[in-house]
Structure 1
Amino acid sequence: MSTERLREAGRSVAASPSWRQWVRAEWGFWRGVAYDAQRFRRHAWLHRVHSTPSRAARMLADAHFLEYGMALRAARPGFGLARAERLAGDLSAEGAGTEAAAIGLATLRLWADFNAGSTLPPAVQTALALPAPAAEAGTQTLTADTLRSATVLDFLAFAQARHSVRQFAPGPVPHDAIRRAVAAAQAAPSSCNRQTCHAHVWTDPALINRVRSHQAGNRTFGHELGGIAVITSDLRHWEHAGERYQAWIDGGLFAMSLAHGLHAEGLGTCFLNWSVEPATDRALRAEIGLDDAQLVIVLLGFGLMPDSATVCASPRLPVEAAFSLNPPLA
C-alpha cells in the first residue's frame, strides 16, 4: 500500500511521507496560518471599533477594569479615569439598551459613587444620565464559608469519572439539561469578562447528521449522538495582536466547562476535534450559516448514557508530568 493511501479518519498516517506529501503539508500549514490571520485581522478592532459586537466587547472589558479596580484590597479612588471616559463615550454612542451597555452603565455608576467627591469628566457625567435597565455590576462579597458550601463535591473524582463516550442510549436529551450545562459554561473565565463564546446546539437527529458529516472522527459512532454542539468565539470581541490566540483560550475554557456541565447532568460527552483544513472549516460554516466573525473552536457530541458502555481507559501520565512546584528561575 502506498503512503498516499495510508489515511484513517481523514488523516495521513504514513510513517515516512513522500516529498509530495511533505510539500502538501507545508503548503497546507501556511495556507491555514493565512486563513486564521486574515480572519482575525478582518474582524478584530486593532485600530478602531467598527461594529456593534466590538463596541459591546469593549464596554464589557472597560467595565470589568473598573470593577476589579474596586475589588482590590487597597482600592483607591481616582483609578481608571481613561477607561471610564472611553466607556462613557461608547455608552453615549450606542445607547444603554443592550445587555452589555446596561452592565457598563451600572458599573460606571458604581465607579462614580466610589469616586464621590472627585470631579468627573463631562463625558462620564453625560453617560450617567442615560436610562438603562437594572443590571448586576460592581463588586460583591465572597466568604470562605460560601465557597466551601458550594464546593462540597470531590472534584477530582468528578473529573476523573468523565470519559469520552462513543456509545449512547436512544432517546431525546432534555433541553433543560443542556441549558444548565451552557449556564455552567458561561461561568468559565473570560478575558476581561467579554464572554465571547457561543454554543450552537442541535438535537434533531437529521440536523445532527448534517453537522457531524463535516467531522471525520465521529463516523463510527456519530449516528448514536443525542446532540451536537459547535462552540465558537466571536473575533469581533478581540482587540490587538497579543490577543490573536485568545479566542482559542477562552473557547477551550468554555468548551471544557460545557463538557463538565453535561457530565454533571448525567450525560455522556465526546469532543470532536476541529483541527481541519480551511476548506473543511468553510464547508461547516456554510452548512450551519455561521457568520465569518465566528471562529470554530471545537465540536462536542453528547447523548444519554446507556446502563453500561465500553470506553477507552486513556491512562494519564503521572501527575509530575504535568506539574512543577517552585521550579528554579533563570
Structure 2
Amino acid sequence: MAEARPEAGRRLAAGGGLSGLWSRVRAEAAFWQGALYDAVRFRRHAWLHRAHSPESRAARMLADAHFLEYGMALREARPGFGLARAARLAGDLRDGGSGGPAAHIGLATLRGWADFNRDTALPPGIAPALALTGGEGIAAGVAQAGGAPPATDFLAFAQSRRSVRHFAPGPVPEAAIRRAVAAAQAAPSSCNRQTCTAHVWTDRALIDRVRRHQAGNRTFGHELGGIAVITSDLRHWEHAGERYQPWIDGGLFAMSLCHGLHAEGLGTCFLNWSVTPATDRALRAEIGLDDSQLVIVLLGFGLMPDSASVCASPRLPEGAALRLNPPLAG
C-alpha cells in the first residue's frame, strides 16, 4: 500500500544555498518526469493513425455520428454533407458489427442521415451497413430544443455548493449516486465521445483503501460515505491537438457529477490528483485501472449533517473572471 504523500503545491518554496538549489533541480526533474509520463501514455493509447482497439473504434463511431448530426442540425443544412464520414462510419459498423452502445448510436444516426439524404447518391458501402440490426428506438440524428429551461436559480444553486469536510454517518442512497452520474453524462463531451467514467465505492473498507493514496483527505476522509475516481479513456482520443482534451472533458464531467450530488442533498469535496507518476501508478494498481485510464480527479461525498462548518472561500470580484468584448489585436 502506497504511503499518503503531501499534496502537490503545498510545500513552501525552497530557500537559498546548495539545499535550495538541489530542491529546485528536483522540482524541475519531477516536472519533466510527469510531463513525459502523460505524453507517453497519451501517445500509446490514442488512435493517432488508426483505431487499433475496440474502444478506439467505438469512439470513432461516436465522433463520426456526431459529425453527421452536426451537419443535419445546421440552419442551412444541405444534403450530401459528410459523405466521407458516413462512409467511414458505415465501414466501422460493417467491420465491427452493430453490437454495443456506440455502434447502436452510430447505426441509428446513419439511418437518420441516410433518410436526410434520400435524394442524394450515397457511397456504395452505406446500404450494407443500413441493413444491419441494432439501434432501433434510439433518438439519434436531430432533435429540437428551445423555450425556457426548468425554473432554477442556478447562480444561487452553484453558490450554495461548498466543499464539505464534515459528514453525517449512514449509507449514501444508491439511487442518488445513479441520478448524479446521469447528470454528469449530460455534460458536454468532445464529439459526443463520452470518455469519462466515475468509479465509485461506498463500502467503508474500500473507501479507506482508495483514499489512502490521496493525502488531502487525511483529516476527514474517515467520515466519507463514498469516494469517486473520475477517469477518461485515452483510447477514445485521436490526434496531438486533443492531448489536453481528456482533462477538459474530465473536468466538465467531474463538476457536473459534483453538482448532481449536491442536487441530491449530499455533501461533496474534490480531492486533488496533482500527483507524481509513482502515486498515480499506485492508485491505478490498487483499483485495477488499465494504463489507458487517465485519472482526472477524486471526489469524496457523504450525507450532510444538520450543520457543518465550511471554508468561506471568498471569490474574487466578477471582473477578475470576465473580459467582456475586449479589444482584439491589430
Say yes or no: TM over 0.5.
yes
Contact in 1 for aligned 2:14/2:24 (Cα 8 Å):
no
Q: Does the residue aligned with 1:59 lie in a helix, a strand or coil?
A: helix
Amino acid at match of 1:61: A
How do 1:16-95 residues align onto structure 2 when only pairs under 5 Å count? 16=15, 18-95=20-97
Residue 328 of structure 1 pairs with residue 327 of structure 2? yes
Give matches, 1:289-304, under 5 Å.
289-304=288-303
Q: CA deviation at 1:12?
A: 2.4
The one-letter code of the counterpart of 1:49 is A
Which runs of structure 1 show a deviation greater than 4 angstroms over 4 or more consecutive aligned residues? 7-11
Superposition map of 1:277-296 within 5 A: 277-296=276-295
Identity among equivalent pairs (%)? 77
Change (3 A) 1:28 1:15: closer
- The match for 1:155 is 154
Change (3 A) 1:93 1:8: closer
Aligned partner of 2:143 in structure 1 is 140
- 1:14 shift after superposition: 3.6
Partner of 2:186: 187
- Kindly report the root-mean-square deviation, in angstroms, between the aligned alpha carbons of the 2 structures: 1.2
Alignment of 1:166-181 (within 5 A): 166-181=165-180
Match of 1:315 in 2: 314
- Residue by residue over 1:116-142, the C-alpha shift from the partner in whole angstroms, topping out at 9 and shown as x without a partner, is 121111111111111114122011111
Offset at 1:321? 0.3
Report what 2:218 is aligned to: 219
Q: Which has the higher contact order (CA 8 A, sep 6+)?
A: 2
Q: Which amino acid aligns with 2:82?
A: G
Residues in 1 aligned to 2:43 and 2:135: alpha-carbon distance in whole angstroms: 34
* CA distances 1:210-230 after superposition (whole Å, capped 9, x unpaired): 000000000000000000000
Distance 1:139 1:133 in 2: 15
The offset of 1:9, in angstroms, is 4.5
SS at match of 1:12: coil
| Unmatched segments (≥5 aa) in structure 2 | none
Q: How many residues align?
A: 320
**Contact 2:179 2:260 (8 Å CA) reproduced:** yes
Amino acid paired to 1:218: N
With 17-26 and 192-201 compared, the bigger mean Cα shift is at 17-26
When normalised by structure 1's length, the TM-score is: 0.95
Q: Residue type of the partner of 2:271?
A: L
1:16 is displaced (CA, Å) by 2.8
Distance of aligned partners of 1:286 and 1:8 in 2 relative to their CA distance in 1, 3 Å threshold: closer
Question: TM-score, structure 2 length as denominator?
Answer: 0.95
Letter matched to residue 140 of structure 1: A
Report the 3-state secondary structure (helix = DSSP H, G, I; strand = E; otherwise coil) of the residue aligned with 1:122: coil
Q: Match of 2:244?
A: 245
Consecutive unaligned residues in structure 1, runs of 5 or more: 1-6
The code of the aligned residue for 1:263 comes to: H
2:274 is aligned to 275
CA distance in 1, matches of 2:11, 2:21: 14
Please name the residue that 1:236 is paired with.
235
